Amino acid sequence: MQIEIDGIVVEVTKKSVKNMNLRILENLCVTLSVPKSSTYAEISGFLHSKSNWLKKNLDKMKKRGIKPAPCYVTGEEFYLFGERYTLIVIESSRYSLTIDGDKALLYATSDSDKAHREKYINSFYRKELKEKIDFYLPKWEQLTGLHSSSYQIKNMKTRWGTCNTRTKKIWINLQLAKKPLEALWYVLLHELAHIRVYDHGPAFISILDKHMPDWREKKSMLDS
């Protein structure tokens, strides 16, 4: 359950505890664990009493340069292939996610928390990205004459893609589902080029220049 208090979204979880415990996590997400018997009025009243404390401490953390990480709550930004949407979390009996105009509607169970919603959203991203790769990878393979043996989607922190030049298998970063499609095209071409050229020297650059003259512009999408 999520409750908004003075513009701050609080993730509320009912647990086998005696007292209400309010926390601000290092990623600036706000969580509140409450006894299972707590009513909405009791929870709301408690949060109102802590409103000033929340604002004060969130401001302190922001001044320390801490950047908020996704909490997957209503009001957050949600990106899909370069398009920005407003995330709306709706209580439901099962998980699903649909795009409706400028909104991303995330249906989640009442007992869902950040970890559950993140897991589902990542599975949504994986499905969407797989569909795009299945469509575009064969096109780039046909255009370049360079063929991968297989590909795999993986959540990577430091690379957008990688290629095993011996097995010709490529890995694509799951986070590309958030970037414009042109960025995915660049990564696919980049990794296919490695099937022929191991390093990033002149021979490698010539492949990119030949098949994607504006590849530098597309690469900049990944750096922004």
| pLDDT, tens digit, 9 for 90 and up, residues 42-92 | 999 999 999 999 999 888 888 887 766 788 988 889 999 999 999 999 999
* pLDDT of 125: 98
- Cα dihedral 85, 86, 89, 92 in deg (nearest 10): -40
Hey, what CATH topology would domain 127-223 get? Zincin-like (3.30.2010)
How would residue 27 be classed by pLDDT, with cut points 50, 70 and 90?
A: confident
Q: Is 81 left (phi over 0), alpha (psi -120 to 50) or beta?
A: left
Q: What does the mean pLDDT of the chain come to?
A: 91
Position 222 scores a pLDDT of: 86
Sequence spans of domains, the chain: 2-63, 77-121, 127-223
pLDDT for 115 beyond 90: no
**C-alpha to C-alpha distances, 200 to 15, 47, 128, 155, 196, nearest whole angstrom:** 54, 55, 30, 23, 11
CA 119 to chain centre: 10
Axis crossing angle, helix 114-144 with helix 181-196, rounded to the nearest 10: 60
pLDDT band at 186 (very low <50, low <70, confident <90, very high): very high
187: nearest Cα among 125, 145, 129: 129
Rounded to two decimals, what is the model's pTM?
0.77
Instruction: Tell me the C-alpha distance between 172 and 165, whole Å.
Output: 15
Mean pLDDT for 192-221 is 94
Facing residues of 85 across strands? 78
DSSP letter, residue 2: E
Distance of CA 166 to the CA centre of its chain: 31
Q: Residue 24: its pLDDT value, please?
A: 86
Q: Count how many Cα atoms sit within 13 Å of the Cα of residue 139 in the half-sphere of its side chain.
A: 10
Q: Determine the pLDDT at residue 112.
A: 85
129-164 residue pLDDT tens: 999 999 999 999 999 999 999 999 999 988 999 999
> What pLDDT shows up at residue 144?
96
Lowest mean pLDDT among 12-16, 44-48, 174-178: 12-16
